[in-house]
Amino acid sequence: MKISSIPISSPAWLCALFALFVTAGATAMAQGGATTGKPMAQPRSTLQPRIIILTDIGADPDDTMSLIRLLTYSNEIDIRGLIATTSTFQKDHVEPESIRKVLEAYRVARVHLLENEPGYPPFETLSNRVRQGLAVYGMEGVGEGKDSPGSALILTELSQPDPRPLWICVWGGTNTLAQALWEIRKTHSSGEAEAMYRKLRIYAISDQDDSGPWIRKNFPTIFYICSPGSFFHATWLGLGAPIPGSNTELVSKGWIARNIQQGHGPLGAAYPDVAYLMEGDTPSYLSLIPNGLNDAEHPNYGGWGGRYELNTPEFTEKDWHPQGQNTVRPEPETRPIWTNAEDTFSFPVAGNPFDNRAQDAPVYKSPQVTIWR
């Protein structure tokens, strides 16, 4: 994902999200494997959420950032595929080699990660799950003869007798997923196809090609989280953008350098500098981390990845025009999706964390507040 229309000199997360940097996996990334004592019991892989990542890695550094963080949780999330795709910001090529470059850093770091917790998959396992979609934009990659290694992997996973939902975390365009759905509709009975659709859980970092709206119109029963339309209204901005009320210090360039990049292991060394937004894709999988604070099947509960409500959002962008590289034309939604909700927050009275109605305290209300609150 790339957000060239939102230049950010010091991206922001709220202090509450500091927990992301001090969990065992992230600590291993930052400290190169400081031992924490007796390892905790590891859940069986059949109990872990399973995910496939679609990433336009190479268009912007934030995909690399989000992938590095995801790998620190790969002992708790079953990564079934890492698929390089196109997007509105990278229309004619894909970069699976950039995924493999991050995995090489993981190969070295894994021994240190295992000193903290068991269950990190071997490098070879993850490397064998790297795929790519077609190097074409959007719906140009959907239809007869448009299959790819990426769409084949999605189809294979959906065909498995696995009771777990399959989460598709979309960091770029969705045409590789759209092609898999096109193929299912063509080759399966309506009942078989519907059973496969109902396994899907899609979290898209907005629409980064024209196949996302096509999926939502043509497959109305699929579980779909998205902030359609302009990025400026998107919930996921609350993770890294300098939203009023958020704390910019924890993820300033200096903080990132001191606590992640410099002298903190191979994954930290691979963590790139911020160009536009820090880890804009990370919200797509935060609800899958078993922290006890949310239920991924109920986005309306809220959690690290934000809060979403099931409705058919009003179409408000009738005067839309392309901005920079973002050329995905918004379309009216034709069915309910999990989309932006608003929360209200004000900082608590000093010394009383249960009283959040401090006199004259600023009140913040927006979809982004659902993340950083």
Q: How many CB atoms lie within 10 A of CB 160?
A: 12
Q: Where are the domains of the chain?
A: 15-29+47-285
Least confident of 18-22, 115-119, 174-178, 296-300: 18-22
To the question of domain 15-29+47-285 being in CATH 3.30.420.10, the answer is no
Q: What is the pLDDT of residues 280-338, one digit of tens each?
A: 999 999 999 998 888 999 999 999 999 999 999 998 877 777 776 567 888 899 999 99
What are the C-alpha distances in Å from 136 to residues 60, 93, 94, 210?
Answer: 18, 7, 9, 12
The answer to whether the CB of 275 falls within 8 A of the CB of 4 is: no
Residue 227 DSSP symbol: -
Q: Identify the three-state secondary structure at position 192.
A: helix
Which runs of E-coded beta strand occur in 141-294?
166-170, 200-204, 223-225
Stretch 183-188: mean pLDDT, rounded?
98
Whether 37 has a pLDDT exceeding 90, the answer reads no
Q: What is the pLDDT of residues 166-175, one digit of tens each?
A: 999 999 999 9
Distance (Å, whole) CA 228 – CA 245: 24
What are the C-alpha distances in Å from 57 to residues 10, 72, 100, 126?
Answer: 22, 18, 11, 16
Helices (H), 314-362: none
Share of the chain above pLDDT 90, in %: 65
Whether 89 has a pLDDT exceeding 70, the answer reads yes
* pLDDT given at position 276: 84
Whether 266 has a pLDDT exceeding 90, the answer reads yes
| The two structure tokens encoding residue 225 | 């989280």
Distance (Å, whole) CA 77 – CA 119: 10
Whether 19 has a pLDDT exceeding 50, the answer reads no
